[in-house]
Amino acid sequence: MSDFSDLYQDLIIDHQKNPRNFGEMVGANHHADGFNPLCGDKIAVDLKVNGEGVIEDVKFKGSGCAISKASASMMTMALKGKKTGEAEKMFHEFHDMVMGKVEKPAADLGKLKVFAGVKEYPARVKCASLAWHTFEAALHDEKEVISTDDGVDP
C-alpha cells in the first residue's frame, strides 16, 4: 500500500469491518454517550463493573469512520477483565500515544499500539480517542454526552 498504510493497517481495517463487542448490553451498570461534532461520529459505551472493580464486560455501539469504529472495537477487547485503575491508566497511555506526547507508546498497550500512526494525522486524533473518552465518562457516570469538541483533546 502507499503512504497512508501507517494509519489504515490491516488490524484496524479488520476491526472496522468486523467490530467486536458491538451492540447492547444486558445488565450494564455504567453507560455514556460520546459525540464528535466535527464529523458526527456517535459512540455509546456500556460497562459492567463487578464489586471488586473489575470490568467484566464492555460493549459499544454507534456509527463512525474506520478509525473510530476500530478504536472502539479494540478498546473493548483491551478493557475486558481489567481493573478500573488499570483501565484508566491505559486510557491515559493511549491518549498520550495518539497525541504524540510520548516518544514510544507504553508497552502494556499491546495491540493498541497499532494506533500510534494516528499522531501523524492531527485531524483524526479525535476519531481514535472518542471511544476512550466515552469509556472514561461511563466509568465516572457522566450523564452529559461527552463531546470531543469541548476541550477534552487540547
Rounded to whole angstroms, the Cα distance separating 81 from 53 reads: 10
41 is a site residue for another protein (CB under 8 A): yes
User: What are the grid coordinates assigned to 44, written together?
Assistant: 455509546
Lay out the site mask for another protein across 47-86 (x = CB under 8 A, - = otherwise).
----------------xxxxx-------------------
39 is a site residue for another protein (CB under 8 A): yes
> Three-class SS of residue 64?
coil
Rounded to whole angstroms, the Cα distance separating 41 from 13 reads: 17
Instruction: Quickly tell me which residue has 484508566 as its cell.
Output: 88
Judged by CB under 8 A, the stretch of 2-10, 19-27, 95-103, 139-147 that binds another protein is 2-10
| Identity at 103, one-letter amino acid code | E
4 is a site residue for another protein (CB under 8 A): yes
34 is a site residue for another protein (CB under 8 A): no
